[in-house]
Every structure is written in structure tokens, then in C-alpha cells.
Amino acid sequence: MNLINRHLDKNNLHHAYLIEGAREEIVPEVFDFIKSLGIETAGNADVSHISLDSFKIEDARNLKSYATEKSFSNQKNGKKIFIISANSFLLEAQNTMLKMFEEPIENTHFFIIVPDVNSLLKTLVSRFYLISTRQDLEEEGKDAEKFISLPLQKRIDFIKELLAESEEDEEGNEIVALDSARSRALKFLNALEFTLHQKLVSKRHFDIGFFEHLFKIREFLRMPGSSAKTLMESVALVIPNL
């Protein structure tokens, strides 16, 4: 699909890429690009692929430890590659990664894949070469429009459906969602905030306290142990009907 190739230069390889989009589409392209560098990806201890739902502080610490180890390759300037895809990065993990990416590690390159960069600290995002493959928020915007117009009980039902962890097909087989509930909550929160801004931009006098609430909810969603359902239900309570 060539979603990211136009951003990648074999002759000028950045030390850290942050790629926003669907992991099932992006990861194969990253592997293809690495192969085009002449690096073998199968059975190569210098190429690590880490795929998680939630990237925690212990994962960040392990990554830092692995990244600072010497390359297993006997070749001079042998490269180490880390491909990391996760639905969410917990706040403590992001703070650990901040320190790691302050200074590039020689001959070490990172490809971090997330569904939504807005779930990350801006200071962390600033340390990467950012590539976005996401389409516009048209579909999520439609859901946000619908949500705003719903009565409270319907909003609660909407949240329950949005955050459902799994469902079954017609034959009763479980279908697990590609995005975690936390990731879906963050994406919907971004679309909701954008839609509210659009609706209220023409009004000179209105209560904007709920925007502060949305900001706090976004921060809480990044914290380990927080309940996405409880937090999003509080959003249903404070958003005005427009």
C-alpha cells in the first residue's frame, strides 16, 4: 500500500520514527523497508519487533536496556532496529522514553507505531520524525455529532458499545477488537473535542468548563489502572446538548 515509503530515505535514516495508523498495515511495510536496507529480518537478533496492547514502564525500561547493548552483528556500524506497536503508552513509560530519546543512540533506529499520536505527550512526540497514515476523522466526527445530540442514557449506551472489548460473529466465534478500549476512548475524545470546538466557535458566550474536564479525562486515560468506562461516562454527563 506504500503508506510510509515516501517518508523513508535509505540514505538519510532518522534515528526514531513515530508512525500513526493501523499496525496491521504499517508493520509489514516497515519490515519491507528494513529488508531494502540489506538487513535480514528473520532470525536476526538485531531486529526486534514488540507488539503490545499497553506499553508499560517495565517495557520502557527493558527497551532502554536492549537499545544500549552492543549490536550482535560482527559488521562495522551494524544497525539495531526496534519496531514497537502498541495501542497505548502509559504515562510512566512515556516519561522513561523521554530520557531515552534525548540523545540518539548510534546505529540504533526505532519505528514506533500508534493508532493516535494525540495520546502521547507532546514533548515525546517532538523527539520523533512523525509520519501519519490516518485518514481524516470524518467517521469519528459523525459519531461525535451523534453523541452530542443524544440524551444521557443513550450516551451511556453509546459509551458501553464503544468500549466493548470483544464481540461474536454469527457463528459464535469471538472477535477481538484491534484497538484497546483505552485507545478507542482517546480517539473518540479527540473527535468529540474537535466537534465541540467547531460547534461553539461562532458563539461568543458559553461555558467552556467541560473542555477542562476533557483535558483531565485524557490525562487519566493514560494512567495505569484507570477505568476507561467510568471516565468516559463522566464525559457523557458534562457534555452539553447542542
- Going through 4-148 in order, the beta strands assigned E by DSSP cover 16-20, 47-55, 80-89, 108-114, 129-132
pLDDT of residue 93: 93
- pTM, two decimal places: 0.62
One CATH from 3.40.50.300, 3.30.43.10, 3.30.70.1450, 3.40.50.12280 for 5-132: 3.40.50.300
Mean pLDDT by 10 residues, the chain (242 residues): 75 88 89 91 90 93 88 69 93 89 86 88 87 67 89 94 65 48 82 76 57 82 83 91 74
Q: What phi, psi does 210 have (nearest 5°)? A: -70, -25
pLDDT of residue 63: 93
Angstrom distances, CA of residue 104 to CA of 40, 77, 177:
23, 15, 35
pLDDT of residue 138: 60
pLDDT of residue 135: 59
Residue range(s) in the chain whose domain bears CATH number 3.40.50.300: 5-132
**Secondary structure letter of residue 6 according to DSSP:** G
